[in-house]
Structure 1
Amino acid sequence: MIVKKISLVVTALFSMTMFAQETASSSQEIKPEVKLSYLDSVKSTFKKNDMAARVDSLWMKELTSLDIYDDLSKDIQTINSDVTVDEELPTELLKQRLQAMNEKSPFNIEYNQGLENIIKSFLKNRKKSFSRLMALSEYYFPIFEESFARHNIPLEIKYLAVVESALNPKAVSKMGATGLWQFMYGTGKQYALKIDSYVDERSDPMKSTAAASDYFTKMFEVFNDWELVLASYNSGPGNVTKAIRRSGGQTKYWDIRPNLPKETQGYVPAFYATMYLFEYHKEHGINPERAVVKNFETDTLNIKKEMTFKQIADLLDMPQSQIQLLNPSYKLNVVPYYQGEEHCLRLPKDKIATFVSNEKQIYAYVDYQSTIRTIPSRLAAKVAPKVRAVQPEKINDSELQLYKIQKGDNLGAIAEKYDVSIADIKKWNNLRTNAVALGRTLRIKSNVDPLKKEVKSIPAIEKKSDEAIASTDDKDKNATQSQEYVVAAGDNLGSIAKKFGTTIAELKELNNLASNNIGLGKTLIVSKEVPVIEETASVNSALASNASVDSFKKGATSKKMSEDYYVKKGDSLYSISKKYPGVTISDIKKWNGIKDGDIKPGMKLKING
């Protein structure tokens, strides 16, 4: 008998334990799995490289800006070498430095008043520009020097690219000259530079420098003088020959200079002035800015499929501006693929390693993108006809349920509560994404009572009186909301995307993030600005009964004899009076003792009537 009782007790305890476990497991919150975009799923398989470079995209855009090119071009064309410039640089000291430069250069560098004026003009007006140019020179000058050394050309000619293009491979003159060395279309074709719809090799640093080296070599064979070679590069060999004839057969640049075209008269002095500032920048307090990338830190690879810069930037977590800086010959931000031809992509070495290690996945992603290619969003916005926003699907009042978004909610959890699909909720509420704004009220067509369903209960909804609802009607009308989230310790883009029912790619697009790195305390936008649907019904009343929406609206919008209105930012007496039919500006001023019409946000106004 005792054994039997013990057995019953053990059985009862075991049953209670199993029941408790089942109850605990059934009461656990069911969180829907967030689907990753195809891009995120591809990148999740990548082998990570610890040498990932940190590049400031704003600085990259600054380097590719055409501001310096425009300023220097204007200076060279307008500087009057006969006008003395007031800048602290003793003439004797300048003569000594020019002499030192002349001793180690094949150029005939001589002091003259015109050259001194141009040097002082650059020192006075272009110090900051030269600081930026020196940062760029750390990338481009090694390319120039290697090519010039191979052709036995003076290395000092590298400074000519500063005068020509301000070291901007995308520079285009008014006449159409393009690239670092400013080749015209015909000259580029003459030196076998490819120019088509996708590619312009006049902007390719290596190929255009090789073409420039060929030109310098041929012109030196003609003139046997490097200063005349520079003059012919600017104005053409024909104009130099004419100037020699008009000067009575003299062959020195400074002798024939008055007979050269006006722009060429300032061209060689500008070249010498540039050389001087690069050689003596420390003495004049010009500090080179940070070099973002150096040539030896980059490498190239051959592309096997056509790819856009955006695809490369998304896959390798790098700004498009850096790809543009390293690959300026691609005109449409696309690396094309022609059968039988090689197209190279230059990238930082660590990104090359990531690309080569994951080529299969990268090209699979490119193939996938090619099947869904559409016109660019900006172009689509311009050409698309303007239509009214699609109205949410009308829902039968008897099936209507309203749900107010609480902190931590996402569409997946809400769909589970009401036994409907996410797609239906988006259709009923005219949602374009899975992101929902905190505090927004959703319209849901469901016969399921979430309070009785064995899932996480609906958070308590604050009761509002008719007066409160009526006073908030005007506040919410035509308003927009966006949801933000402050990054906490342990957060990453994946966990935040899962929390708010969105994807990593969408978070990066909303917040203009170049990589998956996010700083502690950073505020992220987790949903786009969406129109707030005006709801004038009492939420709790709608959940409690099947009364019609019209009856709720009628009760909510009924005005009382007196009401308080709190002034919001952007309000005026005129806009407030429009919120209350039959109320004038004079009425509001009279009821509140306002004389001059001055109201401030937060101020309480009494509205009678």
Structure 2
Amino acid sequence: MLVKNTTLSFFCLCSFALFAQDNQTNTPSNLSYLEQVKNSFVTDKMTTCVDSLWINELTSSDLYEEKNVSFEEVVIDTDLDVELPTALLKERLQVMNQKSPFNIEYNESLEKTIKSYLKYRRKSFGRLMALSDYYFPLFEEAFAKQNVPLEIKYLAVVESALNPKAVSKMGATGLWQFMYHTGKQYNLKIDSYIDERSDPLKSSQAAADYMAKMYKIFGDWDLVLASYNSGPGNVSKAIRRSGGKQSYWEIKKHLPKETQGYVPAFLATMYLYEFRKEHGIVPQEAVVQHFETDTVQVRQKMSFQDVADLLDVPQKQIELLNPSYKLKVIPYYANEPHFLRLPLDKIAVFTANEPKIYAYLDHKNNPEFNNQRTAIAKAEIKTSTNGSISYYKIKSGDNLGAIADKFDVSVVELKSWNKLNTNRIAAGATLKLYKEVPVEVVQPKEVKVKNASKIDKKRVEEVVAEVQVDKNKSTKDPVLYTIQVGDNLESIAKTKNVAIADLQEWNALKDSKITAGKSLIVSLAVPEEMVVVKTKTSIVSNNATVSEFKRHATSSKESTINYQVQKGDSLYSIAKKYPGISVSDIKQLNDGIEAKDLKPGMKLKISS
């Protein structure tokens, strides 16, 4: 162990020396305040290194390897394709009984439940087993502290299908389906912001506490399960009505109807987990492992959206890891700690930059800042309708910041193009994206920013930069194509050498659906006055200014300059410096270069 620790420390120190970075990164003044804050974040390479190596150590352990191999090498018993033989089921139940504190014995009710699960729920168990990789270690830890059988972890599958936000018709909530008063009885906090019945850790501790107390009363774990479902009073009544018998199977007929099937459902779930290989049940890959996450105490109120924007974490993942916050907001109560659970690498970023994060939240929640932001938004570029439009279907976990970065545009432009009043977007919806961004001039005098900071003023000046709208439009008839059976937009676009987005725009298509027999515009003829006559390309000196670019363009039908990339440049910001130049033009002239390929000092060709 000493050797491992020494090797780990040496490797981390070497990595830290190699990958250390400056605490401060200079950013262009046209970046948003959020982007400037994020660009100034520091990364604790030592912490990241240790976290990464620790996860590798866990995932490389013999136990983990054995589990993964057992999932992959699934052997299906051919005798079970049609029906599970009763004799074989009895043998397996006997094996389970020998290593369990529960009274597991064969009966027709249990056999019917197991076979029903095998017939109708085989696929769902694959998904449940992926979720259990995250939740079961939490349950086992809570149960071990109270000397509760670890097998009771399977009860959460029966209760909530491992959904921490599950709510029954009667109002029972969370993984362990606590009613309101029962949750309060076991010290689970429930208010407008928080419902700890949905907290995996605290609700599991409460469930373990309940099970331990019920075992002191009944002295039998089968009866403890029955009491968890119907209450200890109904179990006591059933014992009396049966003449004082103490076995669940003997008092079963005196219990409420729902409880009569409760223990068989629990045992059937346990059986499918224990014999998943034999029945060909392959667990899906876990989204996240519990040991890959950690918590940090939050010292100021913040929303899940704030966390997603600052740390570049999908909001859905934040919701998955923090299900007890009802309004997707982490509140702040004086003298009462609240915690945020995140992946380990994001915890490292959060803790290394807490002062900056809280400063951003203060700035964002300042009314004066909001007024400035509104003024800037009003001054943002207004797009005309003659630009090429493409469409992006929003995926689960997307946010406007991530989409803006992906397509090299700004969040304000995305909101302007799609008439969005907030940053909220819904998975499955479609966003418009303008490939080329022709704009109308907005005079600076129309922008009024009261008490704006220097950065804000500079931002306003940049968004009202002079860029002239091209008024030329096509005047000739479009080229039509009759859609054939089997055609799709992709095949037509490829055949006609046009973009799918252009086909959608020209034909006012909201999606990719087309109908055979209908006509489709596949080309818009260019008016003669817009045709560019290609002549020998002339080269302007390095780092030519926009005015030089314009002046040289007037003396040649087509001219090219070499632009030297500056620190903080993006393809979009470069294109905005030169009228009539789009991101796609720059990519085409520079062998399909992408934003990630840009490096300060490199030369780019810019053509008029």
Same fold (TM over 0.5): yes
2:410 is equivalent to residue 503 of structure 1: yes
Amino acid at match of 2:520: P
DSSP-derived class of the 1:177 partner? coil
- C-alpha distance in 2, partners of 1:565/1:204? 60
Instruction: Give, in whole Å, the separation in 2 of the partners of 1:212 and 1:434.
Output: 57
CA distance in structure 1 between the partners assigned to 2:337 and 2:283 by the alignment = 36
- The one-letter amino acid paired with 1:111 is Y
Give distance in 2, aligned partners of 1:149 and 1:599: 68
Which residue among 364, 381, 384 is the counterpart of 1:434?
Answer: 381
Q: Quick one: which of 151, 154, 169 aligns to 1:156?
A: 151
Aligned match of 2:167: 172
Give the secondary structure class of the aligned counterpart of 1:199.
Answer: coil
| 2:240 corresponds to | 245
Q: Cα–Cα, structure 1 residues 265 and 498, in superposed 2: closer, same or farther, change >3 Å?
A: closer
Say whether residues 1:258 and 2:244 are aligned partners. no
**What does residue 499 of structure 2 align with?**
none
Which of residues 297, 301, 308 in structure 1 aligns to 2:296? 301
Equivalent residue letter for 1:235: S
Amino acid in structure 2 at the alignment position of 1:126? R
Distance 1:42 1:266, change over 3 A: same
Change (3 A) 1:528 1:274: farther
Contact 1:435 / 1:528 at 8 angstroms: preserved in 2?
Answer: no
- In the TM superposition, 1:60-209 aligns within 5 A as 87-209=82-204
| Matched residue, 2:389 | 482
Q: 1:499 to 1:95 in 2, by over 3 A?
A: closer
SS in 2 for 1:240: helix
Does the CA contact (< 8 Å) of 2:482 and 2:518 recur in 1? no
Cα distance in 1 for residues equivalent to 2:379 and 2:183: 49
Show the counterpart of 2:273. 278
8 Å CA contact 1:49–1:350 kept in 2: the answer is no
* 1:504–1:309 Cα change, 3 Å: same
- The answer as to whether partners of 1:201 and 1:207 remain within 8 angstroms in 2 is yes
Deviation digits for residues 67-116 of structure 1 (CA, Å, limit 9, x no counterpart): xxxxxxxxxxxxxxxxxx99421111111111000000000000111111
8 Å contact kept, 1:40–1:504:
no
Conservation of the 8 A alpha-carbon contact between 1:35 and 1:503? no
SS in structure 1 opposite 2:519? coil
Distance in 2 between the 1:204 and 1:436 partners? Answer: 46
Specify the code of the residue in structure 2 equivalent to 1:255. E
Change (3 A) 1:95 1:129: same
Structure 1 CA distance for aligned equivalents of residues 318 and 368 of structure 2: 21
**What secondary structure sits across from 1:346 in the alignment?**
strand
The one-letter code matched in structure 2 to 1:601 is L
> Match of 2:299, as an amino acid?
K
Shift of 1:294: 1.3
Relative to 1, partners in 2 of residues 1:175 and 1:528: Cα closer, same or farther, differing over 3 Å? farther
Residue pair 2:44, 2:352 contacting (<8 A) in 1 also: no
Distance in 1 between residues matched to 2:356 and 2:290, nearest whole Å: 28
Letter in 1 for 2:172: A
Output the CA distance in 1 between the equivalents of 2:433 and 2:211: 57
2-side partners of 1:498 and 1:159: how far apart?
Answer: 43
Query: Is the partner of 1:277 in helix, strand or coil?
Result: helix
**Secondary structure of the residue that 1:302 maps to in structure 2?**
strand
Shift of 1:36: 1.2
Q: In structure 2, the residue corresponding to 1:284 is in which secondary structure? A: coil
Q: 1:111 to 1:354 in 2, by over 3 A?
A: same
- Number of equivalent positions: 380
**Distance in structure 2 (CA, Å) of the matches to 1:500 and 1:369:** 25
Q: Name the structure 2 match of 1:519.
A: none
CA displacement at 1:47 relative to structure 2: 2.0
Relative to structure 1, the CA distance from residue 510 to residue 316 in structure 2 (aligned partners, 3 Å threshold; closer, same or farther) is farther
| 2:520 match | 601
Give distance in 1, aligned partners of 2:205 and 2:87: 39
- Structure 2 counterparts to residues 379-418 of structure 1, below 5 A: none
C-alpha separation between the residues in 1 aligned to 2:41 and 2:339? 22
The normalised TM-score by structure 2 is 0.56
Alignment check: 8 A CA contact 1:87 1:123 kept: no
1:228 aligns with 2:223: yes
- 2:501 corresponds to which residue? none
Q: Tell me which amino acid in the other structure corresponds to 2:180.
A: Y
- Tell me, in whole angstroms, the C-alpha distance in 2 between the residues paired with 1:528 and 1:38: 25
C-alpha distance in 1 between matches for 2:405 and 2:191: 46
> Amino acid of the residue matched to residue 263 of structure 1?
E
Q: Supply the distance in 2 between the matched residues of 1:301 and 1:225 (Cα, whole angstroms).
A: 40
Q: 1:603 to 1:201 in 2, by over 3 A?
A: closer
Q: 1:292-441 to 2 correspondence within 5 Å?
A: 292-372=287-367, 433-434=380-381, 436=383, 439-440=386-387
Structure of greater Rg:
1
Displacement after TM superposition at 1:497 (Å): 7.6
Distance 1:365 1:280 in 2: 52
Counterpart residue identity of residue 184, structure 1: M
Measured in 2, the distance between the counterparts of 1:501 and 1:350 equals 25
Report deviation, 1:367.
1.1
Note the C-alpha offset of 1:601: 3.0
Distance 1:564 1:365 in 2: 54
User: Alpha carbons of 1:250 and 1:500: their partners in 2 closer, same or farther (altered >3 Å)?
Assistant: closer
Structure 2 match to 1:62? none
Is the 1:40–1:505 contact (alpha carbons within 8 Å) kept by the matching residues of 2?
no
Cα distance, 1:130 vs. partner?
0.8
Is residue 391–residue 431 contact of structure 2 (8 Å, CA) maintained in 1? yes
Letter in 2 for 1:194: K
One-letter amino acid matched to 1:326 = L
**Cα offsets for 1:500-552 (capped at 9, x unmatched):** 9953686699999xxxxxxxxxx99644999999xxxxxxxxxxxxxxxxxx9
Rounded to whole Å, the distance in 1 between the matches of 2:482 and 2:369 is 41
Q: Secondary structure at the match of 1:231?
A: helix
* Structure 2 counterpart SS, 1:601: strand
Q: Are the aligned partners of 2:391 and 2:433 in contact in 1 as well (CA < 8 Å)?
A: yes
What is the identity, as a one-letter code, of the residue corresponding to 1:226?
W
CA 1:509–1:88: 2 relative to 1, 3 Å:
farther
Q: For 2:323 and 2:97, locate their aligned partners in 1 and report how far apart those are by CA, in whole Å.
A: 35
Q: 1:434 to 1:501 in 2, by over 3 A?
A: farther
1:42 partner SS: helix
Any idea what the Cα deviations from partners look like across 1:340-388, whole Å, max 9, x if unmatched?
110011111111100000111111111122225999xxxxxxxxxxxxx
Task: Kindly provide the amino acid, as one letter, of the partner of residue 600 in structure 1.
Answer: S
* Counterpart pick for 1:43 among 38, 49, 57: 38
Percent identity among equivalent residues?
61
Task: State whether residues 172 and 178 of structure 2, in contact with CA within 8 Å, keep that contact through their aligned partners in structure 1.
Answer: yes
The CA RMSD over aligned residues, in Å, is: 4.2
Q: Is the 8 A contact 2:167 2:177 kept in 1?
A: yes
Q: Contact 1:315–1:362 (CA<8 Å) still a contact in 2?
A: yes
The 1:91/1:569 distance shift into structure 2, 3 A limit, reads: same
Cα drift, residue 124 of structure 1: 1.0
CA shift at 1:218, angstroms?
0.9
* Structure 1 pair 95–484 and aligned structure 2 pair: CA distance change class (3 A): closer
Three-state SS of the structure 2 residue aligned to 1:251 is coil
